[in-house]
Amino acid sequence: MTGGPSRSAARVHGHDPVDAHDHTHTHGPRPDHVHLVRPAVVEEASPAVPVVVEHLHFRYPDGFEALHGIDLAVAPGEKVAIVGPNGAGKSTLLLHLNGIHEPVHGSVRIGDLVVSRETVRRVRALVGLGFQDPDDQLFSPTVFEDVAFGPLHMGVDHGEIHGRVERALAAVGMTGFETRIPHRMSLGQRKRVAIATVLSMDPGVLVFDEPSAGLDPRGRRELIEVIRSLPQTMLVSTHDMRLVAEVFPRTVVMDDGRIAADGPTARILDDDALLHRHGLERP
Ligand code: ADP
């Protein structure tokens, strides 16, 4: 298997991490089966945490202004879909939530923590970030080691690790896969294990970029069940409007680095003119 911890930092689209030495942000949860949540998982999960983004502006090092004043408040446990055309700024926004990007103006708050260089380690323990390609998050010889990596890196007591891994795998329907080799599993299974790598850190917020991309109908259905079952606050960027309609009560439409609309998903999906203006389609 390639790489060690440093591989997990390599993703991030080549953006400038606030702290390139802290790799915990790449580890996150993954989806799979139906019958996913056992009561123990719900009982022991960290409390969901609110997210508040205020007046957020961001410019890439080449001078490109990718975000022009984002205001967004997400309540604990709320599930929000972020939609919009390519280049709208969805990923740029999401990468602020765990300090991979640093605002030029404005602020991002995760619970009581304002995201900054000083807080970034604590923020990354609270915010689980899942990337579109699970292979950006899986680099160990076994599923167990991949799911254990985040908590071990955070200094979680060794005695707790087995329980953490077991709960995270149960939450994504992957119990029994501990000794399997991640890179020999199906995309749907790898995606679920990648989500487990985030869940094992006990995050209060989950952030996913295009989680359903590339999945076959069964893999997609299993992912939907996982997302529905997780109690964390969730912000998910996606082009999959059926996923949006089925899972997310609230939808934010982004375009050109701004929020173009924010409201109940049913209302957004009913507004043909709005969808058309931003290159979106009804599911
Ligand atoms: P989305 O996720 O909605 O497709 P992104 O957040 O990836 O959009 O990109 C928003 C804008 O920022 C796009 O115009 C993109 O070209 C630009 N961008 C993304 N990454 C970089 C970068 N590293 N340097 C300069 N511009 C970038």
pLDDT tens column, 59-104? 999 999 999 999 999 999 999 999 999 999 999 999 999 999 999 9
Q: Is the pLDDT of residue 29 over 90?
A: no
Please give the structure tokens belonging to residue 261: 């609309």
Contact between 135 and 114 under an 8 Å Cβ cutoff? The reply is: no
Give the per-residue pLDDT at 47.
Answer: 82
Rounded mean pLDDT of the chain? 86
Domain count, the chain: 1
Q: Is the pLDDT of residue 19 over 60?
A: no
282 domain residue, yes or no: no
Q: Is the dihedral of CA 125, 190, 13, 262 positive or negative?
A: negative
**Lining residues, ligand 1, CB within 6 Å:** 13-15, 60, 62, 64, 66, 84, 86-92
Judged by DSSP in three states, 190 sits in helix
* Ligand 1 probe mutation, 60, 132, 236, 239, most atoms within 8 A of CB: 60
Q: Is the pLDDT of residue 9 over 60?
A: no
Q: Which residue has the higher pLDDT, 259 or 29?
A: 259
pLDDT tens column, 124-161? 989 999 988 999 899 999 999 999 999 998 889 989 99
136 domain residue, yes or no: yes
User: Cα separations (Å) of 135 from 190, 264, 282?
Assistant: 8, 33, 31
Q: Which of 146, 159, 173 is nearest to 38 (CA)?
A: 173
109 domain residue, yes or no: yes
Distance 57 CA to ligand 1 centre (A): 13
Q: Is the pLDDT of residue 44 over 90?
A: no
Q: How far is CA 61 from the centre of its chain?
A: 24
Read off the CATH number of the domain in which 91 is found. 3.40.50.300
Q: What is the pTM of this model?
A: 0.84
Give the per-residue pLDDT at 152.
Answer: 93
Give the per-residue pLDDT at 45.
Answer: 52
Please give the structure tokens belonging to residue 4: 């060690």
Distance 265 CA to ligand 1 centre (A): 25
283 domain residue, yes or no: no
Give the per-residue pLDDT at 131.
Answer: 87
Q: Is the pLDDT of residue 38 over 70?
A: no
Please give the structure tokens belonging to residue 235: 């912000």
Q: Is the pLDDT of residue 213 over 70?
A: yes
Distance CA 265, CA 205 (A): 20
Q: How confident is the model at residue 247 (pLDDT cuts 50, 70, 90)?
A: very high
Cβ count within 10 A of residue 106: 16
Give the per-residue pLDDT at 4.
Answer: 33
Q: How far is CA 138 from the centre of its chain?
A: 15
Distance 17 CA to ligand 1 centre (A): 15
Distance CA 220, CA 222 (A): 5
Residue range of the domain that includes 170: 5-277
Q: Please report how many Cα atoms fall inside a 13 Å half-sphere around the Cα of residue 145, on the Cβ side.
A: 13
236 domain residue, yes or no: yes
Residue 68 β-bridge partners: 57
State how beta strands 233-237 and 205-209 pair: parallel
Cβ count within 10 A of residue 47: 12
pLDDT tens column, 256-269? 999 999 999 999 99
pLDDT tens column, 179-200? 999 999 999 999 999 999 999 9
Q: Is the pLDDT of residue 22 over 70?
A: no
Please give the structure tokens belonging to residue 218: 């069964």
